[in-house]
Structure 1
């Protein structure tokens, strides 16, 4: 291998590593292949309209390398004033899954606001189980999340057998 190829390969590897590292730093955000959070639902609408509402590609904001959509500029602007208040807990992963020390995707229609925070669940069946002991599940989830958030769903599953 000549010096020119070595420099090119080293540069390419450095760029690749930087991209992977930047993704890994926000692995705690659940988004689809297009970086869309909550399957396009407006996270502010859960608070202001008390229901899940699909957002518009016209009104977006980014948080933790995920794109959030909103029904209006007003909702987007409200989100931008306090992203941690309006973003779903546990990066948008299933609250019951986090209580089980796992990361599951969510159904945006399986939701609840508890203590001023938005929680999503895998589906409505899982949500029924989670709702049986919200306070207890939250205590367990809060204990699990700091370590879990740095893992992929596959790593969490492998770790927990």
Structure 2
């Protein structure tokens, strides 16, 4: 194989690997349809996950305070909250990839609005809307138990497959 052939082969392989990251992230994480310059989808509609996970406060994040993790971009309202996330991302990450916890409990990957959120045992759960949030509050423990049961089987599946083409 010539040097040029090796270079072309390496370039094709690298582009395939890079192109697969946003698709992988979109299947496992609830990301906005827009992407960053790197191609990563934006988590939690661009809101600051640290502000949400520490006090259920919705704070709009800014692109200048961005951390990418697993092909997903997290925006933060300040350098301080960005540093907190970098120090311990698992503490702040929403459960179920940021999909609606009630949706996961009923076997669906639904969008979530950060203003409908709850913290249980130090974990952040987000919900689609007021209706899903109220249904969850009727039986928090049961809803979360069912979501925990469902998530492993649906975690890696595309949204269209989980939701039946919806």
Whether TM-score is above 0.5 comes out as yes
Residues 102-117 of structure 1: pairs in structure 2 closer than 5 A: 102-117=108-123
1:148 and 2:154 matched: yes
Unaligned runs of 5+ in 2: 1-8, 36-40
**Matching residue of 1:5:** none
Q: Which has more strand, going by share of residues?
A: 2
1:72 and 2:78 matched: yes
Structure 1 residues 53 and 25, CA, compared in 2 at 3 Å: closer, same or farther? same
1:52 and 2:42 matched: no
- For 1:149 and 1:58, locate their aligned partners in 2 and report how far apart those are by CA, in whole Å: 30
**Matching residue of 1:29:** 29
> Is the Cα–Cα contact under 8 Å of residues 56 and 117 in structure 2 kept in the other structure?
no
Structure 1 residues 156 and 53, CA, compared in 2 at 3 Å: closer, same or farther? same
Unaligned runs of 5+ in 1: 1-9
Size of the aligned set, in residue pairs, is 155
> Is the Cα–Cα contact under 8 Å of residues 101 and 127 in structure 2 kept in the other structure?
yes
**Matching residue of 1:3:** none
**Matching residue of 2:134:** 128
Task: Return the offset for 1:18.
Answer: 3.2
Where has structure 1 moved over 4 Å in runs of 4 or more? Answer: 10-17
